[in-house]
Chain A
Amino acid sequence: GQQVMQIPQYQHVQEGEDFTTYCNSSTTLSNIQWYKQRPGGHPVFLIQLVKSGEVKKQKRLTFQFGEAKKNSSLHITATQTTDVGTYFCAGPEGGGADGLTFGKGTHLIIQP
């Protein structure tokens, strides 16, 4: 079955440093989505990328979708303590399926 892999599993940064998490799929994705989950919270939708090579920005967050539509990245510039949480990428289970396959997530820990 489809696998979605994320690295790193954990990332410790000093507040103000940048952060990047990478996502790789074993299959070509029709789209990729990113979610943030605060400790003890639920996943919150951040963005969906659909087009090959697409880049989208949300304030300090930059999302990229690879040309082959098998990889993606999330980059946060100048992290703040509010960025703490786990960042998951997710892709459709297969074809145009409804369900999402999530990566294991990258836990972002920020030291003030």
Chain B
Amino acid sequence: EPEVTQTPSHQVTQMGQEVILRCVPISNHLYFYWYRQILGQKVEFLVSFYNNEISEKSEIFDDQFSVERPDGSNFTLKIRSTKLEDSAMYFCASSQSRNTIYFGEGSWLTVV
């Protein structure tokens, strides 16, 4: 079964450093998303991306965050200057029709 793949699975970074999380969505999907989940808490929407542009973003997705689809397969989330409170599991997801959303296994970010 097709999967959303994410790298790295775990990253430890110093506060203030830039981090890029990478995702390869399912190949025929058109909608791409980033969600995050702070340990023990609910899944929170960050941003959705369609037709090579951001279609929606949440309040969490401030100027420190950016997304890119640099080529036909990768979808990246960049955090410019990480803060301690950015420590979380970041899930990439994709969907074909905005109905069923397939999540990747996540990238666990630890900011120290």
Contact = CB atoms under 8 A, between A and B. Distances in A.
Given A98-B50, A98-B56, A99-B33, A88 B101 contact: no
Contacts of A104: 41-42
Interface string A79-112: 0000000001010010001111111110000000
Contacts of B101: 33, 45, 100
Interface string B19-51: 000000000000101010000011111111010
Contacts of B104: 42
Interface string B80-112: 000000000001000000111111111000000
Contact of A99 (B42, B45, B91, B102): B45
A97 B100 contact: no
Nearest to A99: B45
B73 interface: no
B90 to A, nearest CB: 11
Contacts of B102: 45
Given A31-B99, A97-B56, A98-B31, 17 more contacts: A42-B103, A42-B104, A43-B43, A45-B101, A48-B99, A88-B42, A88-B43, A93-B56, A98-B33, A98-B48, A98-B50, A99-B57, A100-B101, A102-B45, A103-B42, A104-B41, A105-B42
Interface of A: 31, 33, 35, 37, 41-45, 48, 88, 90, 93, 97-105
